[in-house]
Structure 1
Amino acid sequence: MSKALCCYAFETLLNKLNLEQTKVPLKSYFEAVHEDASKLPKSAPLFVTWNKNSQLRGCIGTFQSLAVEPGVAKFTVSSAFEDPRFAPIAAKEVADLEVDVTLLDRFQPISDYNDWSIGEHGLKISFELDSEYYSGTFLPSVAEEQNWDKPTTLYYLLKKADYPVSKKSTEEFYSTGLKEGWLKLTRYEGLKVHIAYGDFIAIRKSIVN
């Protein structure tokens, strides 16, 4: 993946918070970290994730394919300021932040709720019950980072979709839903890269100084 995209996320955040007067273009970051932009997809589904002191601080993205540069800029802003789970990121927090940019690929519907691998696949669930629609997703890194096994991941995926289910009935729920066809479970892969604020600043200084 690309450290340049993570640098561009931080650059976008600094400008949005008025912490920098000039904006370093993405092209300059590709040059600074010696990456070939042509090796990345021109468009992809993507997510931007902010962490502070190793704790989630915001994450928003899309499963629609977007042009990568404007897509990263768009979801940098929405994940930093519009994630309803968190207060907007403040300028005083920036030095403690880390950012992940994940480009998604290889979406595959699965009929077996165990047909995926921790650390390799993300999961997306959607279903409708009692005239209510539920959906949720976990990026490929989530289960591994949380030290979850498969049953635990599947349970928390339902909780993220805001569907009330007990942990002991989780696997039966998936089995029934997939067998009857009203539940859709999709696995997918992601190209993810991570950078901390200090590393970003060092790269930025190599460009602007």
Structure 2
Amino acid sequence: MSKSLCCFAFESLYYKLGLESSLITLDKYKPVDQGDSKLPSKAPLFITWNYKGHLRGCIGTFQPQSLESGVKSFAYSAAFHDPRFPPIKKAEVKDLSVSVTLLDNFEQINDPSNWTIGKHGLRLNMHIDGNYYSGTFLPSVAEEQEWDKVSTLWYLLRKADYSGVSQKDTLTFFNNGIKKGYIGLERYEGLKDALDNQSFLEYRKSIA
């Protein structure tokens, strides 16, 4: 996909933490892609930080963003404002890795099994009992967690903070909800690349 976007996410974090006094722009990192396919000018995107291989923050948007401002903004948000985690500290940076996922090909689906593990992400919107629930899993999540489709759908409900259905009844729940109109389920695809801190520093040194 694009190492340059991952580099720029790290660059933005380093600048925000005061580890660098100036911010290298995304264009300066483009040579590290070495002829990879051309990126869109705008896209929905998610930034994920991992610390020693474990999730440390993940935030993004389904609204198309200019890549430079979007990566910068959501690199900050995922690092400092994911409510599941405390803000990332300077001491953690050496053990961080980042992934940038650009989203595309959104399709509403009427069959909750009509998606492919490792290829599709899922986005849930649900109105039930006067409450609204929403959640998403990026395309890589089910495969990384070694979930089957039913488990993924059940965990998606849990991520949306809905616990009113058992795992064995998950498919029936989704089928009924989609049929009656209180569940909206989308599948989508993503272009993803990842980079660890040491690789970022080597790239940065090569262009500085």
TM band (smaller chain): over 0.9
Q: What residue is the counterpart of 1:115 in the other structure?
A: 114
Distance 1:150 1:36, change over 3 A: closer
TM-score of the superposition, structure 1-length normalised?
0.96
Residue 205 of structure 1 corresponds to 205
Separation (CA, whole Å) in 1 of partners of 2:126 and 2:205? 48
Q: Is the 8 A contact 1:48 1:101 kept in 2?
A: yes
Deviations 1:160-201 (A, max 9, x none): 000012112111110110111211000000000000111111
Residue in 2 that maps onto 1:192 = 192
Decide whether the 8 Å contact of 1:33 with 1:203 is kept in 2. no
The 5 Å alignment of 1:171-190 reads 171-190=171-190
Mapped to 2, the partners of 1:132 and 1:22 lie a distance apart of 46
- Aligned partner of 2:58 in structure 1 is 59
Runs of 4+ in 1 over 6 A off after TM superposition: none
Structure 2: gaps spanning 5 or more residues? none
1:129 aligns with 2:128: yes
Higher mean C-alpha displacement, 142-151 vs 164-173: 164-173
C-alpha RMSD of the superposition: 1.1
Range moving further from structure 2, 178-187 or 137-146: 178-187
1:106 Cα offset (Å): 0.3
Output the TM-score relative to the length of structure 2: 0.97
Q: Give the length in aligned residue pairs.
A: 207
Structure 1: any 5+ residue segments left out of the alignment?
Answer: none
CA distance in 2, matches of 1:5, 1:161: 28
Looking at structure 1, the residues matched to 204 and 69 of structure 2 have their Cα atoms a distance apart, in angstroms, of 20
Question: Given residue 152 of structure 1, which amino acid in structure 2 is its aligned partner?
Answer: S
1:91 aligned onto 2:84:
no
What CA distance in whole angstroms lies between the structure 2 residues aligned with 1:81 and 1:73?
A: 12
Query: Secondary structure of the equivalent of 1:103?
Result: strand
Aligned sequence identity (%): 56
Q: Partner of 1:102 in structure 2?
A: 101
